[in-house]
C-alpha cells in the first residue's frame, strides 16, 4: 500500500511540474505573438547595437537602441544570427504606438509584411 501511495504522489508531482513548465513556455509564446502583432499594426525601422548575444541555450540577444531620445533595452531570441555578434549594429522594426516593442532582423517575423 505504501508503494502505491509513493507512486501516486510521484505521479501527481510530475503532473504538476509538467503543467507548470507547459504554462510557462506557452505564456512566453503568447507574449511573443502579442509583441509581433503590436509591431505589425504600425511600425518604423530603426538601428541598435547588440550588447550581448548567446549562441547556445535559447539563442538570446540583448539590443540597446534609442527612439525619440529615449534609450531602450530589448531582450529576446533569434532564429538566424546572420553572423552578427556583440557590438554589431542590428536593424529592427519598432511599434509606433510603443517603441519598446521591436522585431529584430534576426527573427523570422522580421521578414513578414
pLDDT of residue 55: 82
In this prediction, residues 80-107 reach a mean pLDDT of 94
pLDDT of residue 66: 97
pLDDT of residue 20: 57
The per-residue pLDDT for range 55-75, each reduced to its tens digit, is 887 789 999 999 999 999 999
pLDDT of residue 112: 74
**What does the alpha-carbon distance between residue 51 and residue 65 come to, in Å, rounded to a whole number?**
10
The residue that leads in pLDDT, 99 or 110, is 99
**What does the alpha-carbon distance between residue 3 and residue 19 come to, in Å, rounded to a whole number?**
24
The residue that leads in pLDDT, 6 or 77, is 77
- Average pLDDT of the chain to the nearest whole number: 85
Domain tally, the chain: 1
3-class SS of residue 93? strand
The per-residue pLDDT for range 5-47, each reduced to its tens digit, is 777 777 777 766 665 555 555 445 788 899 999 999 999 999 9
Beta strand 89-95 pairing with 43-53 = antiparallel
- Note down the domain range covering 3: 1-113
CA torsion angle 108 109 112 113 (round to 10) = -150
Q: Which grid cell sits at 95? A: 511599434
Amino acid at each position: 500500500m505504501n508503494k502505491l501511495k509513493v507512486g501516486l504522489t510521484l505521479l501527481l508531482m510530475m503532473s504538476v511540474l509538467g503543467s507548470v513548465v507547459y504554462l510557462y513556455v506557452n505564456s512566453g509564446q503568447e507574449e511573443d505573438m502579442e509583441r509581433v502583432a503590436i509591431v505589425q499594426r504600425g511600425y518604423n525601422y530603426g538601428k541598435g547595437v547588440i550588447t550581448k548575444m548567446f549562441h547556445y541555450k535559447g539563442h538570446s540577444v540583448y539590443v540597446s537602441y534609442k527612439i525619440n531620445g529615449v534609450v531602450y533595452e530589448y531582450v529576446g531570441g533569434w532564429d538566424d544570427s546572420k553572423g552578427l555578434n556583440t557590438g554589431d549594429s542590428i536593424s529592427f522594426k519598432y511599434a509606433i504606438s510603443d517603441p519598446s516593442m521591436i522585431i529584430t532582423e534576426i527573427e523570422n517575423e522580421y521578414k513578414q509584411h
